[in-house]
Structure 1
Amino acid sequence: MDISGLTSIFATSMYGALALIALWGAYCIVVIWMRVAQKRFRNEMQQDAFLEAVEEPLARGDFEEASELCESDPRALPQLAYLAIENREIGYSQVKQLIVERFQRDVLADLDHRISWVNTVIKGAPMVGLLGTVTGMMGAFAKLASAAQVEASQMANDISLALITTALGLVIAIPLTFCLNSINIRIRKMEDLVAVGLTRFLAALREAIANETVHELEEIESHSMAGTE
């Protein structure tokens, strides 16, 4: 097989590569979109309603009820609140640091991993398409050089097919760019909403922990006084 045949086969294989790249990029976009939807409240009103429901048992010192309200909710703020309540014994400052680290690791890091793949697809798809175009053009010119007479329509057809791969690469990258920008906006909104919610929840938790500590000290003091009597 001559070089024009080999380059033609290679250029054609780029269609399959671009199809796989497009599917992977679309899959990552869908996963990120669903992940963000799963981890955030739709609006601040919903989040405020949740916080009000949790603050009520915290004000009574009923950590078990507050924990139950958070445990079954898969969204980021309830899960972080559950983690904070369950680890309240380590102290307020360490609890605050713990939930910030967990939010970064369990939520944002997973999203960043998927986003990095989408960015790779956005950058890689046009390059793969360009590689197919260059390879196809090499085959077309190799055919022109080896043949004594080549019809112009045949050359135009070969060049057109080669250029399609670059167009396909751009067709893949451009929509993914818009989708990724939309997702980044949703992620920033989620971060802002979670930050506001955590500030309010941690204030309520801090007060509940302080009340619990005062209550425990009062019990210890009453027991000690009863023992001395």
Structure 2
Amino acid sequence: MAIPVLIIGRSGMGKSTSLRNCVGNDDWNLIRVLDKPLPFKGKINGWHSDDYQQIMKLLIASRAKNIVIDDAGYLITNMFMNKHSSAGAGNGVFTLYNQIGDHFWNLIQFISTKVPADKIVYMIMHEESNDLGEIKPKTIGKLLDEKVCVEGMFTIVLRCIVESGKHLFVTQATDGAVSKSPIGMFEGLTIDNDILLVEKAIRDYYEMGGTEQNEKTE
């Protein structure tokens, strides 16, 4: 099975910017849910889609060892905005929320069970605070939060922050925010927000190989 990685953070905290060193690297593909420019120069090969079935096909068809689904939370938002006005009230809205939850859950399950085992799939989402002040991935409705717990479907969850003017990934839970990674995968609580460093740590930890191209370009 492929390894799913969740990356969360507020706007401007460096989520997409963490991909800056993937430009021109054939080991990386980018699926953009929103068709917006990247916050750095250069191009990462990939596609634009917010269709779940197409994204699943792209995950299988991609020859890259690493695939990023940027703005993955907008899969939820776009489906809600496109369908809520026609859903009606009462049971119609409840059915729509069920569909939203089912589709997103199925995508993560698909990554974990159907995508080849030598691949890492990174899902980038915005964050939000719940009623308890806990920071978690941003979703719509209570179904994903209460019945699914999105972050619970990932072994690796990294949070983007800015500290003393430096963009960082947080590797373990702190300050009420969800972050987690296996014991010893990362050297510290925070690391530079360079996704190539994340890939290398994951492949080294699980003895997956495949970081030779990164080492050549460093």
Could you state the TM-score of these two structures normalised by the residue count of structure 2? 0.26
Of Structure 1 and Structure 2, the greater strand share is in 2
Could you state the TM-score of these two structures normalised by the residue count of structure 1? 0.25
Q: Which entry has the higher C-alpha Rg, 1 or 2? A: 1
